[in-house]
Amino acid sequence: MRKSLLVAAILLCVTSAAYGTCQYLTFLTESLPDFTVGVYGSTTIDVWGGTAPYTFTITSGSLPPGLTMSSGGVISGTATAEADNTVFVKVTDSLGCHLTNAYPVRAYN
């Protein structure tokens, strides 16, 4: 019986190491700064945990016109119009673990 349990434990460890397991992943950035129309701005969405590198995507909503988000989580650009939107940002780590967070994003004059 002990031998069976030991073999099962070893197989579980080998399987976890071979396929990876999701580690705790969380957004550190709680909110985004407001952007001013006609003025360049930049901010980075930070996360903690998981397994780097991370990839960021917008899954729903849109940034104000003139702003873009890189796959590294940097939102930058010059807003060209006022906007008050919500974007849903998904972060995916190198093991495929993911988490999504909603961010209000505003551009004003």
Q: What does the pLDDT profile of the chain (109 residues) look like in tens digits?
A: 444 433 333 333 333 344 567 889 999 999 999 999 999 999 999 999 999 999 999 999 999 999 999 999 999 999 999 999 999 999 999 999 999 999 999 999 9
Q: What is the pTM of this model?
A: 0.80
Task: Kindly write down the DSSP assignment for every residue of 25-88, as one continuous string.
Answer: EEE-------EETTSEEEEE--EEES-S--EEEEEES-PPTTEEE-TTSEEEEE--S-EEEEEE
